[in-house]
Structure 1
Amino acid sequence: MKKKQRESECSLKTVSLLSPLGTIQVSGCENGVHTVQILMDVAPAERGSEAPPSCAVNPAEMSPELQRCAEWLRAYFSDPQTTASLPLPAFHHPALQGDAFRSRVLQVLLKHVKSGETVSYKRLAEMAGNPRAARAVGGAMRRNPVPLLVPCHRVISSSGQSGPYMGGKGDHLKLWLLTHERQP
């Protein structure tokens, strides 16, 4: 009920960005970003251009937080290392607030696993304070409302395998993102 009530108080806007991954939809309100969705309409190899995301919406029509998110995504696809010096947009999604384990996992991932790095589900569980909760970390990654911003693609299995992304449908995107971040 809280989520429905909170979102009903918001005036949600959605922005579509064209990126090397295909279309990315970002929704948010004046208070912050609610969701980031990778629509997987085009495979990275088929996109052809490595150009940073372009936005069809006039920036004046976007909230400051949606503008900040679009700028961050453009920088990420241009040169992922530059995002370390950019402010992230505010988040306005209940999964990213509070003290629940899921929220803590997402916050630890955001703060401690930088571009070009990876972390195992088990290690992330340890970092979030519950070394026996690797499966719960996987659940938090599956329900991450703002992928790319909170980099769930950087979480891999203990064996070093990349593991699933977007329910297994986006595994090729996860590999593309990890390779993109490791390029000089």
Structure 2
Amino acid sequence: MISNMTKYSSECVLQCVPLQSPIGELQLSGCEKGVHSITITTDTPKHSAVSCADSDVQVELQKCVSWLQSYFSSAQSVTSLPSPAIHNPMLETDTFSACVLRTLQDQVPAGQTVSYKKLAKMAGNERAVRAVGGAMRRNPVPLLIPCHRVLCSSGAIGGFMGGKGADIKLWLLQHEGWKP
């Protein structure tokens, strides 16, 4: 089921697509340039799984659905796939948050984790641990930018989805082969 397209900016016409997954329903939003957001809902599913053979679905959203289906089938399978295009204004800036999210996406592969402190250092400011946490909270495309791979320095898994998704974070880490 595809929701009506909505105007996002002078350049983008957003389309929303629901996708069932092992962690709950995902709401994907994007335009012809890429994915704008992924929202994980833990509510009872309201839609059936999307079929991306539908010619009305934007090409980049079709790619994202295929990537996510592959990821949920086998997390390691996506290492050989190109990541879906992301088109979110937050990530198109030179802010520290955008730098942190790009660093995480580029340098922490499936099955590996990084501490908030180490990610701050990798992004160029080892004292900005709290800012890294803020960037994780504002991540518009979880799973594509794997904020679930960021742990506390103590090894604790830390928060996810505003504190209500610790079980989802643990599932994702275990799905990727993480060993505590």
Match of 2:39 among 25, 29, 37: 37
So what's the TM-score if we normalise by structure 1? 0.87
Once residues 176 and 132 of structure 1 are traced to their aligned partners in structure 2, the CA distance between those partners, rounded to angstroms, is 30
User: Quick one: distance in 2 between partners of 1:106 and 1:127?
Assistant: 11
- Between Structure 1 and Structure 2, the one with more helix by share is 1
Structure 1 residue 100: deviation in Å?
0.8
Q: CA deviation at 1:60?
A: 1.3
Q: What's the Cα RMSD here?
A: 1.8
Q: Find the aligned partners of 2:64 and 2:127 in 1 and give their Cα distance.
A: 34
Unaligned runs of 5+ in 1: 1-5, 43-52
For 2:161 and 2:65, the matched residues in 1 are separated by: 21
Q: Could you say which residue in structure 2 is the equivalent of 1:45?
A: none
C-alpha distance in structure 2 between counterparts of 1:133 and 1:176, whole Å: 28
**Could you tell me which residue of structure 1 aligns to residue 151 of structure 2?**
156
Please, which moves more after superposition, 76-85 or 92-101?
Answer: 92-101
- 2:62 is the alignment partner of 1:67: yes
* Runs (5+) with no aligned partner, structure 2: 1-6
Q: For 1:62-100, what per-residue CA distance to the aligned partner results, in whole angstroms no more than 9, with x for missing partners?
A: 111101100110010000101111111211111211211
Name the CA distance, whole Å, in 1 between partners of 2:111 and 2:43: 25
Give TM-score, length-normalised by structure 2: 0.89
Greater CA drift, 111-120 or 89-98: 89-98
Structure 2 matches for 1:105-184, cutoff 5 A? 105-182=100-177
> Across the two proteins, how many residue pairs are aligned to each other?
169
Give the C-alpha shift of residue 59 in structure 1.
3.2
Please identify, of 94-103 and 173-182, the stretch whose mean Cα deviation from structure 2 is larger. Answer: 94-103
1:87 corresponds to: 82
| 3-state SS, counterpart of residue 137 of structure 1 | helix
How far does residue 56 in structure 1 lie from its aligned partner after superposition?
4.5
What amino acid does structure 2 have at the position aligned with 1:148? L
Aligned to 2:14: 12
What stretches of structure 1 move > 2 A for 4+ residues in a row? 6-9, 56-59
Report the identity percentage: 55
Question: Which letter maps to 1:145?
Answer: P
8 A contact 2:52–2:62 mirrored in 1: no
Structure 2 Cα separation of the partners of residues 127 and 59 of structure 1: 41
